[in-house]
């Protein structure tokens, strides 16, 4: 994700923090200053929000480490002002596994809340447990409430909340994945409308949540639609077979000529008949800046990403959605026979949907 800085690596997963995140601290500090007028109040607010985000990180690790048990890695976890985001390599396709992965986030918050409740009960600090306030004595209590809120909020049956995933997985045991996603998305959008209405007449925060849920539900339904269309469609049905290739000795000037003369932006690099690399647009432009038109393709090419003719298009799309991969080279018995890029898959999807509408 852009605008993020890495702050560490825990359990082998990179932890990023979004550039807008410090703004949250400024804002919280300001709010507590206005409300309490004391440095103590501001410190309370800042430490509260810091501890809260530690809880959010633990929640995300709940998802990530559970997914790991099913052999699914996590690319990174990013902290946004609105919460955390664990970027799993893929979602479990098995509904039972999806339910467990989704539940283990909120379960972490429930566990934290229970632990704090026990601590407060043992130390007698929970006497006024029904009165959350800004007093430092109630710090643990506030964290306890916040964790209960996190667990409940995340279990709302709406994408992109964990509850939406649980609902979809439960429905897909009876309906099939696409139908289940459509229905779950519709339920989520119904809930978003309700929040929106409540938000109009009351808390504006609900309005924000409504937009968040509406957009999330639509995106999830769209992604699932696409995945279904590409599932079990072999690469050979959508690959580009009419393309230009460069050789390692080609100049960057040759790459420029081919780019301007046609629509191809990324090129496979062939040494005779052997695929040795890929020269993508970004690398060509960087090469032009450093070496000019006389630069050589061999100096700027990168390792090719390869797939076979029978590979499934859905898997290739997943690969192309990672920022570094712009072009996948299709090999048949060691020979380059085609290319697949994101534009071509989009084209394929548009054609499929036109045929379906007929
Ligand atoms: Zn979660």
Does 290 map to a domain? Answer: yes
Q: Do 211 and 341 fall into the same domain?
A: no
Q: Do 144 and 14 fall into the same domain?
A: yes
Q: For tokens 């038109």, what's the residue?
A: 293
Q: Do 151 and 213 fall into the same domain?
A: no
Q: Do 10 and 151 fall into the same domain?
A: yes
Task: Kindly report the average pLDDT of the chain as a whole number.
Answer: 84
Q: Do 88 and 216 fall into the same domain?
A: no
Question: How far does residue 224's CA lie from ligand 1's centre (Å)?
Answer: 19
Q: Do 281 and 332 fall into the same domain?
A: yes
Q: Please name which of 250, 208, 226, 216 lies closest in space to residue 318, comparing C-alpha atoms.
A: 226
Q: Are 79 and 21 in contact (CB under 8 A)?
A: yes
Domain boundary among 124, 155, 186: 155
Q: Residue 132: what pLDDT?
A: 45
Mean pLDDT of 275-286: 92
Q: Residue 249: what pLDDT?
A: 92
Does 177 map to a domain? Answer: yes
Q: Do 144 and 261 fall into the same domain?
A: no
Domain boundary among 230, 246, 266: 230
Q: What is the DSSP string of 237-266?
A: GT-B-S---B-TT-BHHHHHHHHHHSS--S
Does 288 map to a domain? Answer: yes
Does 162 map to a domain? Answer: no
Q: Do 8 and 130 fall into the same domain?
A: yes
Question: How far does residue 354's CA lie from ligand 1's centre (Å)?
Answer: 37
Q: Please name which of 228, 187, 201, 171 lies closest in space to residue 356, comparing C-alpha atoms.
A: 228
Question: Given strand 13-18, what is the order of strands in its sheet?
Answer: 4-10, 13-18, 74-80, 83-88
The CATH number that applies at residue 278 is 3.10.580.10
Owning domain of residue 194: 168-230
Question: Given strand 328-332, what is the order of strands in its sheet?
Answer: 305-308, 328-332, 335-340
Q: Do 47 and 151 fall into the same domain?
A: yes
Those residues whose beta carbon sits under 5 angstroms from the ion ligand 1 are 105, 154, 162
Q: Do 96 and 173 fall into the same domain?
A: no
Question: How far does residue 165's CA lie from ligand 1's centre (Å)?
Answer: 10
Question: How far does residue 156's CA lie from ligand 1's centre (Å)?
Answer: 11
Q: Look up residue 141 and give its two tokens.
A: 């209590």
Does 161 map to a domain? Answer: no
Q: In whole angstroms, what is the distance from residue 138 CA to residue 135 CA?
A: 6
Q: Do 48 and 30 fall into the same domain?
A: yes
Q: Are 59 and 103 in contact (CB under 8 A)?
A: no
Question: How far does residue 125's CA lie from ligand 1's centre (Å)?
Answer: 29
Does 160 map to a domain? Answer: no
Q: Predicted confidence band at 205 (pLDDT cuts at 50, 70, 90)?
A: confident
Would the pLDDT of 133 be above 70?
Answer: no
Q: Are 138 and 128 in contact (CB under 8 A)?
A: yes
Does 163 map to a domain? Answer: no
Question: How far does residue 102's CA lie from ligand 1's centre (Å)?
Answer: 6
Question: How far does residue 161's CA lie from ligand 1's centre (Å)?
Answer: 7
Q: For tokens 């410190």, what's the residue?
A: 43
Question: How far does residue 68's CA lie from ligand 1's centre (Å)?
Answer: 15
pLDDT digits (tens, 9 = 90+) for 170-199: 998 888 777 888 888 888 888 888 888 888
Question: How far does residue 358's CA lie from ligand 1's centre (Å)?
Answer: 40
Does 261 map to a domain? Answer: yes
pLDDT digits (tens, 9 = 90+) for 215-244: 888 887 787 778 777 877 888 888 888 899
Q: Do 151 and 8 fall into the same domain?
A: yes
Domain boundary among 96, 126, 155: 155
Q: How many domains does the chain have?
A: 3
């Amino acid at each position: 994700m852009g605008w993020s800085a890495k702050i560490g690596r825990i359990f082998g997963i990179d932890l990023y923090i979004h550039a807008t995140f410090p703004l949250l601290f400024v804002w919280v500090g300001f709010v507590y200053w206005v409300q309490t007028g004391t440095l103590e109040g501001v410190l309370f607010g800042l430490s509260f929000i810091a501890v809260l985000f530690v809880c959010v990180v633990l929640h995300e690790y709940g998802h990530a480490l559970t997914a790991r048990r099913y052999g699914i890695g996590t690319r990174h976890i990013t902290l946004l002002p609105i919460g955390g985001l664990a970027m799993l390599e893929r979602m479990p396709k098995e509904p039972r596994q999806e339910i467990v992965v989704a539940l283990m986030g909120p379960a972490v918050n429930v566990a934290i809340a229970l632990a704090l409740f026990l601590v407060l009960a043992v130390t007698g600090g929970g006497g006024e447990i029904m009165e959350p306030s800004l007093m430092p004595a109630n710090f643990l209590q506030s964290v306890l409430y916040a964790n209960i809120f996190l667990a409940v909020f995340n279990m709302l049956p709406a994408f992109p909340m964990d509850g939406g995933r649980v609902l979809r997985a439960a429905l897909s045991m009876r309906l099939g994945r696409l139908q289940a996603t459509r229905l779950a998305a519709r339920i989520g959008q119904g809930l978003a409308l309700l929040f929106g209405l409540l938000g109009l007449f009351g808390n504006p925060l609900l309005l924000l949540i409504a937009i968040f849920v509406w957009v999330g539900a639509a995106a999830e339904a769209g992604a699932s639609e696409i995945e279904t269309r590409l599932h079990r469609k072999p690469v050979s049905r959508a690959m580009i077979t009419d393309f230009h290739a460069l050789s390692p000795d080609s100049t960057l000037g040759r790459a420029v000529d081919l780019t301007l003369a046609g629509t191809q932006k990324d090129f496979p690099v062939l040494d005779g008949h052997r695929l040795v690399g890929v020269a993508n647009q970004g690398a060509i432009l960087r090469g032009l800046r450093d070496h000019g038109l006389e630069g050589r393709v061999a100096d700027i090419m990168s390792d090719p990403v390869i797939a076979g003719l029978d590979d499934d298009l859905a898997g290739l799309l997943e690969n192309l959605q990672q920022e570094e991969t712009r072009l996948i080279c299709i090999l048949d018995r060691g020979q380059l026979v085609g290319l697949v890029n994101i534009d071509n898959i989009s084209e394929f999807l548009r054609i499929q949907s036109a045929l379906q509408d007929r």
